[in-house]
């Protein structure tokens, strides 16, 4: 693929991601599940390294902020419950949706993914902050911890 085609594809992905972000920011997250899935897929499916993102929500489940909290390697992104709790408190978030990608393409949760989710839920419970879901994005689709019965 030539440089021009690569630049065109990158621009198309950026525009699609922006459009999905604008759509999700304009509507309640929980009631627009398909927009959320489209947004996270567009944002993370083609990332070559793991990213751990947090969608911070207010009491009405409106998006306050979408932040990349950590960037990692091809198979690991460090997650620090203390930092997530600190940021949620700074933003006055009532709930969170955790999102990260698996560059391998397989969105199946690992034991470490399950353990950190439970650790985060325990850490945030004392602050009355709820984790609605943890989504893992891969080329093969998106896995929802809630739908899979993991939270």
92-116 residues labelled b (16+ CB within 10 A) or e (exposed)? ebbbbbbbbbbbeeebebeeebeeb
N-terminal to C-terminal alpha carbon distance within the chain: 43
Q: What is the pLDDT of residues 14-35, one digit of tens each?
A: 665 665 555 545 544 455 778 8
CA 82 to chain centre: 18
Helix (H, G, I), strand (E, B) or coil at 55: strand
Pairing of β 51-57 and β 95-101: antiparallel
Q: What is the pLDDT of residues 86-131, one digit of tens each?
A: 999 999 999 999 998 888 888 888 898 899 899 989 999 989 999 9
**Fold observed for domain 3-144:** Cytidine Deaminase; domain 2 (3.40.140)
CA distances from 112 to 59, 61, 67, 118, 127 (A): 29, 27, 21, 10, 23
Confidence check: pLDDT of 11 > 70: no
């Amino acid at each position: 693929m030539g440089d021009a085609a690569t630049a065109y594809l990158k621009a198309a992905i950026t525009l699609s991601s922006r459009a999905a972000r604008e759509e999700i920011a304009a509507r309640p997250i929980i009631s627009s599940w398909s927009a959320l899935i489209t947004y996270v897929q567009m944002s993370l499916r083609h990332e070559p390294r793991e990213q751990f993102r947090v969608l911070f929500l207010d009491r009405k489940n409106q998006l306050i902020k979408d932040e990349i909290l950590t960037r990692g390697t091809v198979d690991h992104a460090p997650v620090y419950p203390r930092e997530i709790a600190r940021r949620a408190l700074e933003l006055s978030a009532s709930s969170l949706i955790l999102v990260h990608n698996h560059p391998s393409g397989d969105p199946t949760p690992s034991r470490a993914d399950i353990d950190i989710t439970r650790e985060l839920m325990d850490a945030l419970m004392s602050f009355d902050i709820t984790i609605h879901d943890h989504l893992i994005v891969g080329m093969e689709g998106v896995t929802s911890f809630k739908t899979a019965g993991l939270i």
